[in-house]
Amino acid sequence: MVALLFAVHRAVAQSPATTPAQQAKADAGVQHYTAADVRFMQDMIHHHAQALVMAGWAMTHGASDDVKTLAGRIDVGQHDEIAFMQRWLSERHEAMSANHEMHDMPGMSMPDTLMPGMLNSQQMSTLDAARGKDFDQLFLRFMIQHHTGALTMVNRLFATPGAAQEEYVFRFATDVSTDQTTEIERMESMLETISPQPIKQ
């Protein structure tokens, strides 16, 4: 019996270590996830989509170079995150959205479906109408609002019993919290360098 246990232990010790990629493939669709995890991914796709509209306007609305650079980073980062969330949902055979009308995003005419921090239709129209320095200020203020809402969504996820236990959900939500907190700090600093002007929001 002792010899058998020793042989098993030696075989396990000598077996090749599983690579991260192999482990991810083995775990895909196997780890337990909750309805709250699914809804978080669905809602965050919708949330990110509005940020992409806002970021796109920076290139056409006379934004400063600094704001264009920031908007470009947001565009790239959130496009990548949307792709990740769509892949996560697809691999688990979950719907891509929770009845959100993605095609209506620029106008945001559905206040009942707005996630925390998302701009309503009036705010989107105000931002779309702004140009130059006015656009810069509104963009930064509204994107801070938008990012703060994303942090609220992450905090709600972590506060939900049983949620965010799945490895990829936990990592993604943590990354969103870290990245958007950093961007909020950067945008607040940028706002301080812009001469304050009264802007109708």
Residue 4 domain-assigned?
Answer: no
**Angle formed at CA 169 by CA 85 and CA 92, multiple of 5 degrees:** 60
Q: What is the pTM of this model?
A: 0.77
Considering the domain boundaries, does residue 198 fall inside one? no
Residue 36 has a pLDDT of 97
- pLDDT at position 58 over 60: yes
| Residues of the domain holding 107 | 33-192
Residue 98 is predicted with a pLDDT of 76
Which residues, 6 or more positions from 94, have their beta carbon under 8 angstroms from its beta carbon?
Answer: 38, 41, 42
Q: Domain total for the chain?
A: 1
The reply to whether 7 falls in a domain is: no
Instruction: State yes or no: pLDDT of 39 exceeds 90.
Output: yes
Which region among 3-17, 32-46, 81-95, 180-194 has the lowest average model confidence (pLDDT)? Answer: 3-17
